[in-house]
């Protein structure tokens, strides 16, 4: 039920983000979701892509430091309070969210939340028990 996410270390220099997107497009990899976290001198770009093996290889060949993490994708109705109910359910069960980001699917009315948990398996169990749909990796890569 987990989703593969790749993360890339970036210095805060003009054009670095564009270097990543160009590398991926040249490798024929599409980006499904993206989030950038940054400080004054560096940033971490997190990506979900159509082919993470290919993406990782292309990025490494171009000198980027690339990491790989398992995250969880949850579907939530795109209406007020949707996110809040998920977050309170997790915190009631003592599960920490390390970080999260969201994107809206082209097709539907639902938003997709990408979570990085400290205890991934327990988080998935809790979400499912409460009727939240977890989107499997294959489905997400091919949206």
Partner 1 sequence: MVFDVQNETMPRDELESLQLKRLKYLAGKVYHNVPFYKQKFDEMGIKPESIKSISDLKNLPFTEKQDLRNNYPFGLFAVPRESVVRVHVSSGTTGKATVVGYTQRDVDNWARLMARSFESCGVNSTDIVHNAYGYGLFTGGLGAHYGAEVLGATILPVSGGATKRQVMLMKDFGPTVLCCTPSYALHLYETALANGISMEDLKLRVGIFGAEPWTEEMRQDIQNKLRLKALDIYGLSEIMGPGVGIECIAAQDGLHIWEDHFLMEIIDPETGESLPPGEKGELVITTLTKEAQPLIRYRTRDITRINPIPCRCGRTHYRIERITGRSDDMLIIRGVNVFPSQIESILLETEGLSPHYQLIIDRKGSMDILEVQVEVDEKLFSDEIKHLQNMEKKIMSHIKEFLGVTAKITMVEPKTIARSEGKAKRIIDRRNV
d(CA 98, CA 100): 7
In contact, 73 and 3? CB cutoff 8 Å: yes
- Number of helical H runs and strand E runs in the chain: 5, 7
Nearer to partner 1, 63 or 81 (CB): 63
End-to-end CA distance of the chain: 16
To 5 degrees, how large is the angle CA 15–CA 68–CA 31? 50
The answer to whether residue 104 forms part of the interface with partner 1 (CB under 8 A) is no
The answer to whether residue 61 forms part of the interface with partner 1 (CB under 8 A) is no
The answer to whether residue 117 forms part of the interface with partner 1 (CB under 8 A) is no
The answer to whether residue 58 forms part of the interface with partner 1 (CB under 8 A) is no
Provide the minimum distance between the beta carbon of 70 and partner 1 in the complex, in angstroms, as a whole number.
10
Of residues 24, 116, 124, 135, which one binds partner 1 by CB under 8 A?
116
Residues within window 10-29 making contact with partner 1, judged by CB under 8 A: 10-11
Burial (CB count within 10 angstroms: exposed 0-12, middle 13-18, buried 19+), residue 45: buried
The first and second tokens of residue 34, run together, are: 């993206």
The answer to whether residue 121 forms part of the interface with partner 1 (CB under 8 A) is no
Which range of residues in 39-47, 75-83, 84-92, 129-137 is near partner 1 by CB under 8 A?
Answer: 39-47
d(CA 4, CA 53): 10
Which range of residues in 25-33, 65-73, 80-88, 122-130 is near partner 1 by CB under 8 A?
Answer: 65-73
Residues near partner 1 (CB under 8 A) are: 5, 7, 9-11, 37-39, 41-42, 44, 46, 63-67, 69, 98-99, 116
């Amino acid at each position: 039920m987990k989703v593969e996410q790749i993360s890339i270390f970036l210095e805060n220099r003009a054009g670095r983000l564009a270097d990543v997107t160009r590398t991926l497009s040249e490798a024929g990899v599409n980006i499904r979701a993206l989030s950038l976290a940054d400080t004054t001198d560096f940033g971490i770009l997190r990506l979900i892509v159509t082919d993470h093996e290919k993406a990782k290889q292309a990025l490494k060949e171009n000198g980027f430091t690339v990491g790989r993490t398992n995250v969880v994708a949850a579907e939530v109705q795109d209406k007020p309070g949707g996110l809040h109910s998920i977050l309170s359910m997790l915190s009631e069960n003592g599960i920490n969210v390390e970080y999260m980001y969201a994107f809206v699917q082209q097709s539907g009315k639902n938003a997709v939340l990408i979570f990085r948990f400290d205890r991934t398996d327990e988080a998935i169990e809790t979400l499912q028990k409460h009727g939240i749909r977890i989107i499997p990796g294959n489905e997400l890569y091919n949206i």
